[in-house]
Structure 1
Amino acid sequence: METAIRQGKIPFYASDTFPYGLSRSGYFSIGESEELIKYGDTLYGLHNGLLSPENAEEAMFVAELNSDETATLDAVKLWKKFLLAITKSNSFYSLSPSKKAAF
């Protein structure tokens, strides 16, 4: 991903949500997981308002992230995919009945 967004100060692993790593989660490709590790700390800070944008692309990231329209920046698409992955329910539904049927 060619971007002017600054790299994070620390690697972003999101180990609380993905204990086996971003690349093993099944949600992201290897390239996407590498980009999240590299830029995720900055994207997280921009998303939560902990960091202020330092260049035009970072300002565009914040604007597109808060917009309901289709994203044009790859960083916004990746971050929205990450947000969807962490909010997705991990419910498991079994096909077996919960009670034994009385015959």
Structure 2
Amino acid sequence: MATVNREQLIKKPFNDFKNYPYGFARSGDFSIRESELLGKHGSLITALMSGEIEPESAEEQSLLAVARGEKAAETPIEKAWSKYQARINRPKVGSMYGRSRYTDEAFEMSGVDDDDIVVED
């Protein structure tokens, strides 16, 4: 297995095609500056969170603490990452109209054979 190099992670752009298939800038959730910061630093933050690399500076330790939810965001990248986490972890909306009106049971007719039903035009 190849080792992860810090310089390669910094140069690698971060994309989340599952949640943002057209990119962060085109989603409407982030400003241009926030989408640039996520693209530039997202790979490093995900590697820090997964434990692939260890934080080397106080800035990276602060980023890791914010990503884990241990402290409040202060820098622009920390705020952008917190906003990204809030967006992808929000509860999913099932339907804006609530529960469905009809169920499969409503259409089932108990005790009636299908052969007895006559449809007239």
Question: Is TM (by shorter chain) over 0.5?
Answer: yes
CA drift of 1:67 comes to: 4.7
Partner deviation per Cα, 1:54-97 (whole Å, 9 max, x = no partner)? 222112222343354422232222111111111123424137x7
Q: Which residue of 1 aligns with 2:109?
A: none
CA drift of 1:10 comes to: 1.4
CA 67–15 in structure 1, closer or farther in 2 if over 3 Å, else same: closer
Identify the structure with the greater helix proportion.
2
* Distance in structure 1 (CA, Å) of the matches to 2:85 and 2:38: 12
Q: Which has the larger radius of gyration?
A: 2
Q: Which has the higher contact order (CA 8 A, sep 6+)?
A: 1
Identity of aligned residues (%): 33
Trace 1:1-103 onto structure 2 (pairs within 5 A): 8-91=10-93, 92-94=95-97, 98-99=101-102
Give the stretch that moved more between structures: 43-52 or 27-36: 43-52
CA drift of 1:39 comes to: 1.0
RMSD: 2.4
SS at match of 1:8: helix
* Distance in structure 2 (CA, Å) of the matches to 1:12 and 1:31: 14
SS at match of 2:10: coil
Count of matched residue positions in the alignment of Structure 1 and Structure 2: 94
